A and B are shown apart, each in its own frame.
Chain A
Amino acid sequence: MYSFEFEKPSTIAEAVAALGAEEAQALGGGQTLIPTLKQRLAAPAKLVSLSGIAELKGVCVEDDGALAIGGGTTHATVAREAADKYPALADLASHIGDPAVRNRGTIGGSLANNDPSACYPAAVLASGATIRTNSRDIAADDFFQGMFTTALADGEIITSVRFPVPQAANYQKFLQPASRFALVGVFVARFADGVRVAVTGASEDGVFRWTEAEQALSADFRPDAVKDLKVDPSGMIGDLHGSKEYRAHLVGVMTRRAVAAAG
């Protein structure tokens, strides 16, 4: 790891000011960033820890019933505290990485990183969530802009994520056997006005909505409704863990399993 200056502010305003420095980088739980720094794939001049900011932490229900989760909330906390309010989301959080990773890793860090195989982007996109930052609100449909790319500007911090709670939802993850990341993960969420389906792990463009499945499931919320739909393998990730065709096939399988489990 290259040397860097370290700062640990206690408010969002101080963090935003600290991130205004040249080559400054925010540090969430560090479960991706620290290994990245060790490999010298990133070399920030300054690391600004967000872990000392109390206002970034916590899970609460808003007046309209939506669930708001602070950007600095760990996966373990979401797994515990969202269990009654949004069980599918809590279940997803409870299967990210391993227990020690879940005790450090944060929802804001995961979303800002936008790993193409991360779990949270699927929940955020399928829920039609809103990403709130220190300066604006960003709709999930506008936030994810391809592998490791988001709408966040330099120095912009995810302060919270607002999840509308669906009537029924489920996340199904097919594990990549070595990394335990999603080889393909599908989050299905049924709302009064339609169904949203988001897929992670599969596409070279990162998380995406499977709109054909959304239309079919909005008309008929049963696994059979999507059994004849095919996903185009071009644009899927192909590697030693699974070909493009294999991932395209898994998108259908995981979607059907998620619909069956959501009931």
Chain B
Amino acid sequence: MAQVSMTVNGKSVSGDVEGRTLLSSFLRDHLSLTGTHVGCDTGQCGACVVHVNGESVKSCNMLAVEADGAEVGTIEGQANPDGSLNVIQQAFQEHHGLQCGFCTPGMVMSAAALLKENPKPTEAEIREYLEGNICRCTGYHNIVKAIMAASGQDVGAIAAE
């Protein structure tokens, strides 16, 4: 066992983990932050995307010990300080960017990483950035619309497919 300490959503946390404990398990099972979802558990679906030192990573594909000392951001830290939905979450709601909601935490975290890097992405850039986030309900269209809206751009420009 090893002790790990990190900052998660601005709070200092620590815990004893095995070398093989995944970051996703540490967040969900040790910290009870179950908003981070584990879908495929193979690094493909993106439901487990969190931010580590400001960059999106698949938390099921990273050991918890590798995040020792890191700043970690999860979906639980995305809402505004008063508890209201942030601009991306609000846009997902308004544009029906989710149906079952399982992929949504990863989608929102990826969208946040994209908008930090590229505040006004084109539709093509959004679709390419979401390559590692799989959604089986929406057909992606409303997710793309939501991210366009969250970036302050006109969603009317996106033609229905």
Q: Which residues of A contact B (CB under 8 A)?
A: 1-6, 8, 27, 30-31, 34-35, 37-38, 47, 49, 51, 76, 97-101, 103-104, 180
Contacts and interface: CB of A to CB of B under 8 A. Distances in A.
A34 B19 contact: no
B66 A30 contact: yes
Contacts of A34: 22, 43, 61-63
A17 B49 CA distance: 34
B96 interface: no
B42 interface: yes
B41 interface: yes
B18 A100 contact: no
Given A6-B2, A38-B41, A99 B132 contact: yes
Given A1-B20, A4-B19, A49-B66, A38 B57 contact: no
B132 A101 contact: yes
A17 to B, nearest CB: 18
A76 B128 CA distance: 14
B20 A98 contact: no
Interface string B1-27: 010000000000000001110100000
Contacts of B114: 99
Nearest to B58: A100
Contact of B20 (A31, A37, A97): A37
Given A8-B68, A34-B61, A99-B110, 17 more contacts: A1-B20, A4-B20, A5-B19, A30-B62, A35-B42, A35-B43, A38-B41, A38-B42, A47-B19, A97-B132, A98-B133, A99-B113, A100-B56, A100-B58, A100-B110, A104-B62, A180-B131
B122 to A, nearest CB: 16
Contact of A101 (B41, B43, B68, B113): B43
A210 B18 CA distance: 47
A103 B2 CA distance: 25
Given A35-B61, A98-B132, A99-B132, A2 B20 contact: yes
Interface in B56-89: 56-58, 61-63, 65-66, 68
Interface string B116-160: 000000000000010111000000000000000000000000000
Given A6-B63, A30-B62, A104 B57 contact: yes
